Structure 1
Amino acid sequence: MKLATLRTGENGTTAALAMGADTYLPLPATDVGALLADPDWRAIVQATAAAAAAPDSRIVSVSAAELAPLLPRAGKVICCGLNYGDHIQEMGRELPEHPTLFAKYADTLTGPADTIEVHGSARVDWEAELAVVVGSELFRADEDEAQQAIAGYTVANDVSMRDWQSRTLQWFQGKAFDATTPVGPVMVTADNVDGDFEVRGYVNGELVQSGNTGTLVFGPARLLSYISQFTILRPGDLVLTGTPGGVGMGMTPPRFLNDGDVLATEIDGIGRLENQFRIHAPVPANA
């Protein structure tokens, strides 16, 4: 099954079950994260789906739906850098012994079709990624336990402000700009997934990234298990698994997004993000 978070008003969101190719059915939760916090979320989804044939069911067409960030109130957003062999090589590094992790806030997340406003950076880069949604509590879990705790998978782009990122050895400041990390459009539940994912990124329709998650150094279950050794993971937390080769900073010469560019991120079997960028030139240091 597929789950999404619909915008239903100026400040409201409603979790929705994707009923088919062109319809959503609203669920009794404010967003997908809130739904997953209920241990009986699968039964709630099944009961709602079973009631879809009722005359008063509130089915929403995909064309009429406005999608919010999938997990607008995620308690933890943890990202893995340098996790595809080709990307590690293009960044001039060796394969890591342990995952390279950093965190974002829920404030960094934005919707799958939202315009992304960037203030204060002239080196805005793209990072197409598979993201994992946690479905049950994990603490000091092994890989089998971590695999069982995966609620599903979604699409993300870890948009990075490379000029800020390179100011220090710590990446955080270049990764945590508000409302710059699109996530969605849906979460595909883990029971509907069999095999690896093809991850692609496009700039103005040009393919710039392509990778298969089968080449991840640290796969989803291994990542969740590792993270759970030092911090508890809860339903609705989000883990970004890293990006394949093809980022702008790795090109010769380096290439970055311009004002008006459209960044698309897609994963077969899950969906596609498409976000236009409005990049506001930073104020010169001597102004």
Structure 2
Amino acid sequence: MSALRVKAKRIGTCGIAGFALWLTSPGMAQDETETYLPTPIPDAIRAAILAEASVEDAVAWAPVGDSGYYVSYLRGPGHCGSGGCRARVWRMEGNKAKEVGHLSVGHLPLAALWDGPESVPALAVTVSDRTLPEGTMISSIFADDTYGEPAWDYPLPAGSGDIILSETSLTPVETLLGRGNARDQAGFGILPGSSGNFCTGFIGKKQAFTWDFGDPVATIRFNGKIRYPKVPQKFLSPPADASSEFDDTQWLADDLAIQVYEIAPVSGGVAGPESDAFTVHTVSFTGVGERYFDRVEMKIHCGS
């Protein structure tokens, strides 16, 4: 998956630190914001999509029938051109989201057409082309775990297939701002006390992430609760070491999905003649949990 290498900023003002998303969470009050929320999809896929979203964007997503695949459409100045935006297709691989392909640049509506290999429907997106009638759709057929090249030689008339994403599916990210849904501090928070774990993450000068080398879980605070996301396998399998990159990894807890991207080159060194080497990772954390979406910048120090 191609990550946007942009400098992430803490999202939220005046104490509004997260974006309300649909998650079934016992004990969380239901409110009117749910009327505007997109269709539920796996948390890990939402985290991957929203890791590239900003408050200027609008987002839509939907399952592709019962195939286990999902399609997303992110509209905004950083994602679209004169011909429209590029829809992306996802599935889960274990506990991680995997982008398996994309469709032709185009507009909504987007439709499912027919069952192809493995009963995965072909998808068609509306395109803008002065040589074609208004509303023409171009399809891509699923094969070998991806969607193939757009079939421009076989344009389809407007209204083909079953619409799964339309203009009314788009949700402005700005309108997903949560208002008092969290019992405590919304989004990422500061851990109580401090510890000398192998990898320690900071928001400013305050500790917000810890992981001890070899442990299967890390520690983080989200929506006022301590969470223990599972460490990606790449950090646990030899030859794992302090230089293991955090880029494009997902750390998943039972009710939290975190998408991590490196946003600056990894630095490091040796603190002293009797010290081991250390690395410093500058990352963006995008968390989705308990109907909230939050993003922070973090410095993670690994080693001594």
Fold-level similarity (TM above 0.5): no
TM-score normalized by structure 2?
0.22
Return the structure number with greater helix share: 1
Structure with the bigger RCO (C-alpha within 8 Å, sep 6+) is 1
For normalisation by structure 1, the TM-score amounts to 0.23
Whichever structure has more strand as a proportion of its residues is 2
